[in-house]
Homo-oligomer: A and B are copies of this chain.
């Protein structure tokens, strides 16, 4: 029986296309590669990683709802919904779990409409600019949040 805590790793719109498009710019890393890395890291540090992607805001919200009672924390890269969705913010606020926000690129060095995140006020921390590796840092930090060593 698996008694390891489950971490929901959620990915928003367009992230399924990662690595497919413009590899000379975004690198060749696909979301599948990131999922594999995240699962492996999870296994190493005693976490069950439940990794998902959706292009649908409604589905993303419902996954966050489900997290209550089934997961111990949420790592989220909401993609472009980061900048426009109050509904995702509200879902994160009500799930009452520790949340860590991840972005592949440094959104604060891009177009000005990408500098604002509706989601950040619901997050314990934000990591951006490190590609798929950012998810690993988030998982590491999540273990500590769950363990209560940093709160």
By a beta-carbon cutoff of 8 Å, the part of chain A in contact with chain B is: 12-14, 16-17, 20-22, 27, 54-59, 61-62, 65, 68, 79-81, 83-87, 89-91, 94-96, 100, 106, 108-109, 113-118, 120-131, 133-134, 137, 140-141, 144, 150
**Residues of B contacting A134 in the complex (Cβ-Cβ under 8 angstroms):** 125
Query: What is the distance, in angstroms, from A142's C-beta to the closest C-beta of chain B?
Result: 10
Determine which residue in A17, A59, A95 has the highest number of CB atoms from chain B within 10 A of its CB, and name it. A17
Q: Give the residues in chain B near A120, CB-CB below 8 Å.
A: 106, 108-109
Asked whether, in the complex, the Cβ of B90 is within 8 Å of the Cβ of A85, the reply is: no
Is the Cβ of B133 less than 8 Å from the Cβ of A141? yes
Q: Which B residues are in CB contact (< 8 Å) with A115?
A: 115-116
B22, A94: Cβ atoms closer than 8 Å: yes
A-B contact pairs, 16 of them (CB 8 A): A13-B87, A14-B94, A21-B68, A54-B58, A58-B58, A79-B87, A80-B86, A80-B89, A106-B126, A108-B123, A115-B116, A124-B129, A125-B128, A125-B130, A130-B141, A133-B141
Query: Which of B17, B27, B96, B108 makes the CB contact (< 8 A) with A94?
Result: B17
A125 CA / B20 CA spacing, docked (Å) = 22
Closest B residue to A145 using CB positions: B130
Q: Are the C-beta atoms of A65 and B12 separated by less than 8 Å?
A: no
